[in-house]
Structure 1
Amino acid sequence: MVKESDPSTNERELILSGIKESIRLDGRGMDDFRPLKITLGPEYGRSEVKLGATKVLAKVSCEVTRPFPDRPTEGILTLNTELSPMAFAGLESGRPSEEEVLVSRILEKAIRINRAVDVEGLCIVANELHPVDQRNPVPLSIHHTPICVTFAFFENGDLWVVDPSLKEEQIRRGDMTIAINNHKEICVLSKAGGIPLEMSTIIQCSRLAASKVEWVREKIQSAIVKASEAEKRKTSREMIIDD
């Protein structure tokens, strides 16, 4: 696998000089996300997110199993993250990259450890393994919805951008990801090394992240409404055909 080449000295200077003038190579503002598109379906449990040229596919599946002995009234929630080598040349096939491990840890903290999903609602019968048809289907209960916002920092930390591009990530001196839920609570604040940050910078980024989370949540709600309307139209057509 060919490694992703680092930016040249000229590229670094161009990116940094642009950020100092509040100009990014892709034309975004310092606190702008890349264009976001969320698509749900066509089958249940499938969603696709496009953030600029980055594509993410999420798939939810389930199976009936026995609860853990120490938590007999709770279902089991497992998160798996996989970054494809097709994403960019820096990823190697067959072994998890540092990026993949970091993303997995953040999602694990934001969703499972913060109990975003009601795992008790996943339990069919305490301590037992029963056929799924012994319980009527019920909607999955979500306590809250953590959404992540990533910042990249440059020079001594006074310069930073939201949702860094690949080139910006390659020349950053530090980064930080903040997960905030719909109650405006910080679920995760992840800073894996890099330059130290002033508390005022962290507070400023947290406030900005809260506003960006609202924007993302509106996109999610819009996608849910579109998927629901599409499902209603499909059901209506099936009823007409049956008649």
Structure 2
Amino acid sequence: MAKDTELSANERAFILEALQKNVRLDGRPLDQFRSLNLTFGDEYGVIVRISAEVTAPRPERESDGIFTVSIELNDMAIPGFETGRQSDSETQLSRTLDKIVRRSNALDTESLCIAKGLSCWNVRADVHIVDADGGLVDICCLAIMAALLHFRLPESTVRDGKVTVYSAEEKVPVPLNLTKVPLSVTFNLYDEGKTTLLDATSSEEAVSEGSLIIALDKTGEIALYSKADGTPADPLNMVACSATALAKVRELNALIQRKLEEDSKARGQKGLRAESSAANER
């Protein structure tokens, strides 16, 4: 994704020579992710902002709600990026995430229907990238899926054609109906496809000969398998990449679940403290 990263000829040669010796500049093994951390704010949603509003369904999908993904890059995240002008990298990133998350039907849009042909929920995932050093597809995909799992949709009812949306105090919001949790693992290729690199930095991406994106859920169901550019890939390496991707997706899924459980527990304790404080005041 970062082919436009500016590197000198010496930097390129140094990175490639190191990779031929199975050495990365940051000391990681070729098949290791950088350290990941996932945090949640006070509202439901993570780095990705999830929002929902009541709207009319699309005429051709009267029983479905609407789900969209929006990506925002800026020059603070990527030096030299022209804010407000969509680049090829931004377009490619948006299309890839759309295929993985939206077109894979990870979110059951039928469950977003409020009244057939009249009203539905429009759920939107706004991805704000504040810092970038390669691996954008993988980290954005993880953030979107974690945000969707974390988000709670307000309860609503329909009476005489009128939609009533309840606040969290009136009725407890409900989780979104996710049929699967696809996560992405990107491999960059070197040495005519013989060497594969996991979670490449922007410098490593800039000198790669192509990339392979594998998105799947923890059961192994594939959402996207894309080798869109660069050098032809070695078939045996592709088999190995698929096995590695499944193992990594299961690790990432476990991370998300652990963080969700920690957040839920913290919220529960916070609620108990608030109730106790209110009782003492009474």
Q: TM-score, normalised by structure 1?
A: 0.89
- 1:217 counterpart = 2:249: no
- Please say if residues 99 and 224 of structure 2, whose CA atoms lie closer than 8 Å, have aligned partners that are also in contact: yes
Which residue of the partner structure matches residue 148 of structure 2?
Answer: none
| Higher RCO (C-alpha 8 Å, min separation 6) | 2
Q: Percent identity?
A: 36
Structure 2: how far apart are the matches of 1:134 and 1:27?
52
What pairs with 1:149-168 in structure 2 (closer than 5 Å)?
A: 149-168=185-204
After superposition, the Cα gap between the structure-2 partners of 1:142 and 1:132, relative to the gap in structure 1 and judged at 3 Å, is: farther
- Please say if residues 110 and 179 of structure 1, whose CA atoms lie closer than 8 Å, have aligned partners that are also in contact: yes
1:160-190 alpha-carbon deviations (Å, 9 max, x no partner): 2001001101111111111111221111012
- Please say if residues 106 and 190 of structure 1, whose CA atoms lie closer than 8 Å, have aligned partners that are also in contact: no
- Please say if residues 5 and 202 of structure 2, whose CA atoms lie closer than 8 Å, have aligned partners that are also in contact: no
| Higher alpha-carbon deviation: 87-96 or 207-216 | 87-96
Structure 2: how far apart are the matches of 1:115 and 1:64?
20
Q: Secondary structure at the match of 1:178?
A: strand
After superposition, the Cα gap between the structure-2 partners of 1:242 and 1:11, relative to the gap in structure 1 and judged at 3 Å, is: same
Give the Å deviation of 1:5.
5.8
Q: TM-score, normalised by structure 2?
A: 0.77
| Higher alpha-carbon deviation: 128-137 or 173-182 | 128-137
Backbone CA RMSD of aligned residues: 1.7
- Please say if residues 124 and 132 of structure 1, whose CA atoms lie closer than 8 Å, have aligned partners that are also in contact: no
1:92-141 alpha-carbon deviations (Å, 9 max, x no partner): 11112222212211211111111000111111111113534279643211
Which residue of the partner structure matches residue 108 of structure 1?
Answer: 98
| Higher alpha-carbon deviation: 97-106 or 110-119 | 97-106
**Which runs of 5 or more residues in structure 2 are unaligned?**
120-161
Structure 2: how far apart are the matches of 1:162 and 1:132?
48
After superposition, the Cα gap between the structure-2 partners of 1:80 and 1:132, relative to the gap in structure 1 and judged at 3 Å, is: farther
**Which runs of 5 or more residues in structure 1 are unaligned?**
48-56
Amino acid at match of 1:35: S
Q: Secondary structure at the match of 1:239?
A: helix
